[in-house]
Chain A
Amino acid sequence: MTQTVAAPAPSRRPIGDLAFEILATAAGVLVLALLGAIIVSLFIGGLPAFRQFGVGFLTSADWDPVQQVFGAVVPIYGTIITSILALLMAVPVAFGIAFWLTELAPTWLRRPVGTAVELLAAVPSIIYGMWGFFIIVPFMGDYIQPVLIDWLGDLPLIGFLFQGPPFGTGIFTAALILAVMVIPFIAATMRDVFQTVPPVFKESAYGLGCTTWEVMRSIVIPYTSTSVVGGIMLGLGRALGETMAVTFVIGNTNRISTSLFGPGNTIASLVALEFPESPAGSLKLASLLALGFLLFVISFIVLAISRLLLRKGKVA
């Protein structure tokens, strides 16, 4: 599979072959150039902000459009914390689904249930936003948050995570919506890599009298671990860039709040909310474009790590 079949050493290649290869390569270069152009245009657009604030742009938590002072810490923090929280919630559920679909479910149910879970990925993000705002937010505000604030808010050490008024919106709610959105991605990847485990490995373990869970824990997970992590990182990439759904539910505040129920902001949602009110040539617009550039840098890093892990997984 790794080697394509070489042409039978003809003296010259057919003209059609050459043309097709050039066409295909040109398309590849086009995609490369496209992303390059997007990133360069964002960087140039954001340059005034980088110049004005220097490193301070990356270390300042101040976002004050009236005083024209902009710092990226709050949206960067919000982007990372919501994505990580979302993964903490999504990974166990996605794992459960993938495990159930590959090992436990009756064969006739695997396909429909698998499809249904994947359909979660097809719901447009604006629908997630509207649904989150009208259904999940009131539910969180009425039932979940007041209870957790009562129970856990006064505890030492972790109490600060569960304080503040129960708005229903906030970092935790945003992470929950994100989790629902990335579950299908992670579950599908996990299911696919679980299926790559050679049946003979599993059969030997069953032969030794292992339970399903022991086979999963001792055979399947070690065999696929790097690929699983790579799939999780792909989900993380998706969560980092999500815009519309987060915008509806995160509370949109440019302050760092220690409580999980406190409001926050993410890069993508801040850009979406502020862009329409940023006149051309303003420092605010430059700062938003600079934020867009930083988001690309973050997704670059995440994807690079996930690719590295996935490649190792393939080699192993």
Chain B
Amino acid sequence: MSATLSHRGPARDAVVANALSRRRQRVNFLVEALCLLATFVGLAFLALILATLLYLGFSGLSASVFTTITKPPGSHGGLLNAIIGSLIQTALGTAIGTPIGLLVGTYLSEYARGSLLGEAVRFVSDVLLSAPSILIGLFVYTVMVSPFGGFSGWAGAVALAVIVIPIVVRTTEDMLRLIPVALREAAVALGAPKWKSIVFICYRAALDGIATGVLLAIARIAGETAPLLFTSLGNLNWSLSLTQPMSSLPVTIYQYAGSAFDDWVQLAWVGALLITFGVLALNVLARIVLRPRT
């Protein structure tokens, strides 16, 4: 490897060597300083976003936000139905998407090594990972809302599930691949069939990583607006029925932020504050509680 180094060979003249060394140290120092700066820039953006949300949203935070449903401008509404609607759809989307993603990830890691179908599934799952969420919403609208004649909480949950799947696939496959061969061999040696070794040994060993993936997926869908606009639509009233249109926090934010009325705009910022800190808390939780035991 040393052949690729640019300053090779000992310098004969001590003065030259010293100058060279000083220059190399200076370059090194400069690069290190720039890297520190880059890290500061990244952290500064995060701090700026959080500060903005706190500044604009915190003053509107009150108990009534959590106890009152959305109301017309000037009627002192809250966000209760939007919060509950978001929780229900997010939970359902995760519940539908996680098992499928888990199975696909298992297939890719345990059964599809080197197979063409496996390559295709992996590729397609990665395409889904970066697919614009509005197109996913449009698709669910075409197959679930339009033919069955109505917007529903179910449709919203399914659209979110489609987003969950590729995230869980990616983490599951990555984590299963990290399971030491010795662990599988031990299971086989005990006479366990392959499926038992996967479910009871590998899943358990990979649990932390897979759970992180699921939490990341929840964090991602909790803030999604576009796929819900044309699936669960939104609901101004209190409704827990999944066959009816259902309210959600991101859609409510989207509509309130652009409205003419101060109280709606204020609620939009409160909602933005709630979602962001909720999502960030989930992420921090995922990393602290489920940190790999080393």
Contacts and interface: CB of A to CB of B under 8 A. Distances in A.
A–B direct touch in complex (beta carbons closer than 8 A): yes
B32 A104 contact: yes
A208 B35 contact: no
Contacts of B138: 42, 275, 289, 292
B52 interface: yes
B48 A122 contact: no
Contacts of A316: none
Given A96-B39, A101-B39, A243 B132 contact: yes
Interface stretch (A13-21, A56-64, A153-161): A13-21
Interface string A24-45: 1111111110111110011001
Given A205-B2, A214-B28, A271-B134, A8 B39 contact: no
Contacts of B254: 126
A41 B141 CA distance: 11
Interface in B155-196: 162, 165-166, 169, 177, 181, 184-185, 188, 193-196
A309 interface: no
Interface residues of A, number: 101
Nearest 8 CB-CB pairings of A with B: A124-B223, A96-B38, A27-B103, A20-B195, A237-B130, A24-B107, A211-B28, A241-B132
Interface of A: 1-5, 7-8, 13-14, 16-17, 19-21, 23-32, 34-38, 41-42, 45, 92-97, 99-101, 104-105, 113, 115-120, 122-128, 130-131, 134-135, 180, 183-184, 187, 201, 204-205, 208, 210-214, 216, 218-219, 222, 234, 237-238, 240-244, 267-268, 271-272, 275-276, 289, 292, 295-296, 299-300, 303-304, 307
Interface of B: 1-2, 4-7, 24-25, 27-28, 31-32, 34-39, 41-43, 45-46, 48-49, 52-53, 56, 100, 103-104, 106-108, 110-113, 117-118, 120-121, 123-136, 138-139, 142-143, 162, 165-166, 169, 177, 181, 184-185, 188, 193-196, 198-199, 216, 219-220, 222-226, 229, 250, 253-254, 257, 268, 272, 275-276, 279-280, 282-284, 287
